[in-house]
Amino acid sequence: MNETSYRWRILIAGTAAGLAGVVGLASATASAEPLAPQPSPPGPATVTQTVTVTPQAAPAVPGPSQPVGPGAVPASGAGVLPAAVPPGTTTAAVPAPAAAPRPVSVPLSPNPAGTIRDYLASRNVAMEVQTPTGFTALNIVLPRPTGWTQVPDPNVPDAFAVIADRVGGDGLYTSNAQVVVYKLVGDFDPREAIRHGFVDSQQLTAWRATGGSIAEIGGVPTSIIEGTFRENNMTLNTSRRHIIATSGTDRYLVSLSVTTAESQSVAAAAATDAIVNGFRVAAPVAAPAPAPAALTPPVPAAAPAAGATVPVSMTGTSPINALAPAVTPVIGLPG
């Protein structure tokens, strides 16, 4: 009996000890204090890079293997980072180049009393016919579309240049552009003369105007008129322009007419528009004189021997005077 009781006491004691151990472990884990937050590792310092942007230059950008930082040194030949702008320094943006101003246009009222030729005759102004050979007074640009060629046309009085469409057309009328140039010798008012620029077109058979203007454009009297007229039982579309251009002390009347059959006006529109919009007349611009050669700095003479007096010669290179090459005008039919 005593032995049995002893065994029970040992069993109960062991069980109690085991429960106490389990409770103690759980209590230790639950009552543990939280860890203090650890400081974050230091990150890299922020680097401020000042980049100067200049017109037509790309900013320096480091390559994949090029570090950016206080100790970074660009490789030889690579873009070098510019120096930082000191505090308090203001930088001004580089202004963009100004666009070329458009020529000023001064409208003029049409004068229906006679053609330009009639007005010049009333002022006793001679009209001297000009030809392309040896003509250097003006630069005349007459665009030549694809399929158009220069042709001799005896039907155009005093022709300076005639081009015609040899590819398109309806077989009845060939689209063409004609240029006539006269040198005007005598005293007259160019602005008054150009006011008569509509009349020669208005005298065409069954003329119907579709648009026009007379103005002094950039100081050059110009008339432009567009419309239709009848010729050989056909209706033709035409655009006609008169320009009174000045070259030196001389004045010239330059006339352009672009004509096509009304039935072909849509098919030929791209070509005729290219001629009308691309036609240019201007006085040649003289080439600038060459800049004088830089003076060679004098070379000091060797020190003379003691007691000797030797004058020092200071010889420089004199400027070079050369005649500017003559400017050959762009006259004819580019293409």
Which string of DSSP letters, residue by residue, matches 18-60? HHHHHHHHHHHHHTPPPPPPPPPPPPPPP--------TT-PPP
**Is residue 90 domain-resident?**
no
Q: Which residues does residue 211 pair with via DSSP β-bridges, in sequence order?
A: 226
Distance of CA 172 to the CA centre of its chain: 42
**Closest to 239 (Cα-Cα) out of 221, 257, 254, 223:** 257
* pLDDT tens digits along 69-102: 444 444 444 444 445 555 554 545 556 666 767 8
Average pLDDT in the chain:
74
Stated as kind and residue range, the H or E segment containing 160 is: strand 159-165
**Average pLDDT of the residues in 137-158:** 92
**Is residue 306 domain-resident?**
no
**Closest to 273 (Cα-Cα) out of 168, 161, 143, 149:** 143
Three-state SS string over 67-89 comes to CCCCCCCCCCCCCCCCCCCCCCC
* pLDDT tens digits along 198-209: 999 999 999 999
* pLDDT tens digits along 57-78: 344 444 444 444 444 444 444 4
User: How many domains does one find in the chain?
Assistant: 1
**Is residue 185 domain-resident?**
yes
The verdict on pTM exceeding 0.75 is no
**Is residue 118 domain-resident?**
yes
**Is residue 91 domain-resident?**
no
Asked if 119 contacts 192 with a C-beta cutoff of 8 angstroms, the reply is yes
**Is residue 31 domain-resident?**
no
**Is residue 249 domain-resident?**
yes
Q: Range of 278's domain? A: 105-282
Q: How far is CA 34 from CA 30, 38, 211, in A?
A: 10, 12, 93
Q: What CATH number corresponds to the domain at position 149?
A: 3.40.1000.10
